A = this chain, B = another copy of it.
Amino acid sequence: MQERGVNLSEIAKVVYDLQLPYNPTLQINECLESVEAVLKKREVQHAVITGIAIDILAEKKQLPEPFQTIMEVDEPLYGIDEILALSITNVYGTIGLTSFGYLDKEKMGIIRGLNNHGKEVHVFLDDLIAGIAAAASARIAHAHPDESRYQD
């Protein structure tokens, strides 16, 4: 992911902004640790590997048609990127789902930067990052059941 311009500490910052309202003593280090824990899951790695591969191949214009065109125009009714991201979010249960939808709509931090791309194709990458941030956020909520009481 680093080759695609993504820094884990930027994802940690998204998690921090997301969870701070429910957990005022939260530290950015705990967020980074949570992002790293999410990325150690095999299921998450498979989703990331698959999504980034498709982005790269789209940039190189090596996808068969009509897939290449769907990726280039970022066809809005194409939902496979969200399906992959959802499989990441679900790793810590459905409570991450709300955060994922919110991030996907609000395009916070690093995610906004990726979505407004030039030559590069980030159809999958921005959703994958939203999925990882949502999962890391859910993991923190599970670890602090009392603070998260105010979350829903």
Chain A residues near B (Cβ < 8 Å): 42-43, 46-47, 49-50, 52-54, 56-57, 62-64, 66-67, 70, 73-80, 82-84, 86-87, 90-91, 93-95, 97-106, 115, 141-142, 145, 148-152
7 A-B contact pairs sorted by A residue (CB < 8 Å): A43-B93, A47-B80, A53-B64, A54-B54, A80-B87, A83-B84, A99-B105
B77 near A142: Cβ-Cβ < 8 Å: yes
B residues in contact with A87, CB < 8 Å: 79-80, 83, 93-94
- For this chain, the copies found in one complex come to 4
Q: How far is the CA of A100 from the CA of B99 in the complex (A)?
A: 10
Complex contact A74–B152 (CB within 8 A): yes
Q: Contacting A101 at CB < 8 Å: which of B70, B73, B101?
A: B101
CA separation between A47 and B83, bound complex, in Å?
A: 10
Cβ contact of A50, chosen from B73, B80, B106, B145, cutoff 8 A:
B80
Q: Is B93 touching A86 in the complex (CB atoms < 8 A)?
A: no
Q: How many angstroms from the CA of A83 to the CA of B104 in the assembled complex?
A: 19
What residues on B are CB-neighbors of A91 within 8 Å?
93
- The distance from the CB of A142 to the nearest CB of chain B, in whole angstroms, is 7
Identity of the chain B residue whose Cβ is nearest the Cβ of A73 in the assembled complex: B149
Chain B residue numbers with a CB within 8 Å of A80 are 46-47, 50, 84, 87
